[in-house]
Amino acid sequence: MRAGIRRAINTVMACLTAFAALLVILPLILILAFLVYQGASAVNLDFFTQLPKPVGEPGGGMANAIVGTLILIGLASCLGLPLGILGGVYLAESRDRRLPWVIRFLADVLNGVPSIVIGIFAYTVVVLPLRRFSALAGGFALAVIMLPIVLRTTEELVRLVPASLREAALALGIPEWKVILRVVLPTARAGIITGVMVSIARIAGETAPLLFTAFGNRFWHQGLLQPIAALPLQIFAYAIAPYDDWHRQAWAGALVLILMIFSSSLIARIVTKGRYSGVR
């Protein structure tokens, strides 16, 4: 009898945990369903080729915001990727005791800093001296967010490269920098690309740090020292505006943004699967 009760509790708890897992997945399905349902009708060729129309005129698109987001990601990558990859190599290869520990700790700290705070930082460091909102400031803010992610994944993957490979190359008399460049990094390439794609997926949707750096713009981009449009900013502006037509565009923008983000995560997955499924 007692065993029966215990077994019943066991079953009930197993069901409850399964229910919890189901309940967690439910919002994702709901969100995706609404995105497709509301957004698909507003996604058309105009959406990808036209500038936003003024209030009251129907139609128009978010082409400038899509281009803007790509430019911002490019700018952030120019700064964030080299620093992150080189720094990651340092963390993995350095034989110092203290400095790598400090850097690793700070990278984790920076990773946990709310993105809005990074926005304030970029505002004070880039926007105030230049006296204007600019694409550059937005790219800088995104680079700061990207840096710790790239740094830590690179470190982890460079560590996974077998020491024997490195030793074999060094034993041939090849200088260390060449060993890193020609042997270690190519071996870890798939994993590093994954880290890069993950970090891009993360910054592509960031809104808060762009509010007072990139600022947004209703026109095509006008150089790196001018405010620039970004997809998340445009979605935000349209979502809180009181016009139905803009709401539909916001849904469409969100659908496109999600597709961009999911496809970059998907690339990351495919790249990893080929090479590292065995290692991890």
Distance from C-alpha of 146 to C-alpha of 38, rounded to nearest angstrom: 31
Determine the number of helices (DSSP H) and then strands (DSSP E) in the chain. Answer: 13, 0
Stretch that binds another protein, among 42-50, 118-126, 184-192, 218-226 (CB under 8 A): 118-126
Interface residue with another protein among 58, 74, 114, 162 (CB under 8 A) is 114
Angle between helices 244-276 and 189-204 (to 10 degrees): 170
Looking at the DSSP bridge assignments, the partners of residue 60 are 52
The token pair that represents 151 in the structure block: 């740094």
Interface residue with another protein among 66, 141, 142, 151 (CB under 8 A) is 151
# residues contacting another protein (CB under 8 A): 92
63 or 125: whose CB is closer to another protein? 125
CA atoms within 13 A on the CB side of 275: 16
Interface residue with another protein among 72, 73, 145, 211 (CB under 8 A) is 211
274 binds another protein (CB under 8 A): no
Residues written for the chain: 280
190 or 210: whose CB is closer to another protein? 210
Stretch that binds another protein, among 49-57, 176-184, 188-196, 221-229 (CB under 8 A): 176-184
Under DSSP, is residue 174 helix (H, G, I), strand (E, B) or coil?
Answer: coil
Distance from C-alpha of 123 to C-alpha of 106, rounded to nearest angstrom: 21
C-alpha distance across the termini of the chain, in Å: 45
77 or 207: whose CB is closer to another protein? 207
187 or 236: whose CB is closer to another protein? 236
171 binds another protein (CB under 8 A): no
Distance from C-alpha of 18 to C-alpha of 26, rounded to nearest angstrom: 12
Contact 118, 141 (CB under 8 A): yes
- Residues between 235 and 254 with contacts to another protein, criterion CB under 8 A: 235-236, 239-240, 247, 250-251, 254
Instruction: State the residue for tokens 């979502």.
Output: 239
Instruction: State the residue for tokens 């993950």.
Output: 198
Closest contact distance (angstroms) between CB of 116 and another protein is: 5
- Residues between 37 and 96 with contacts to another protein, criterion CB under 8 A: 38, 82-87, 89-91, 93-94
Under DSSP, is residue 67 helix (H, G, I), strand (E, B) or coil?
Answer: helix
Closest contact distance (angstroms) between CB of 271 and another protein is: 15
Stretch that binds another protein, among 48-56, 66-74, 115-123, 217-225 (CB under 8 A): 115-123
43 or 180: whose CB is closer to another protein? 180
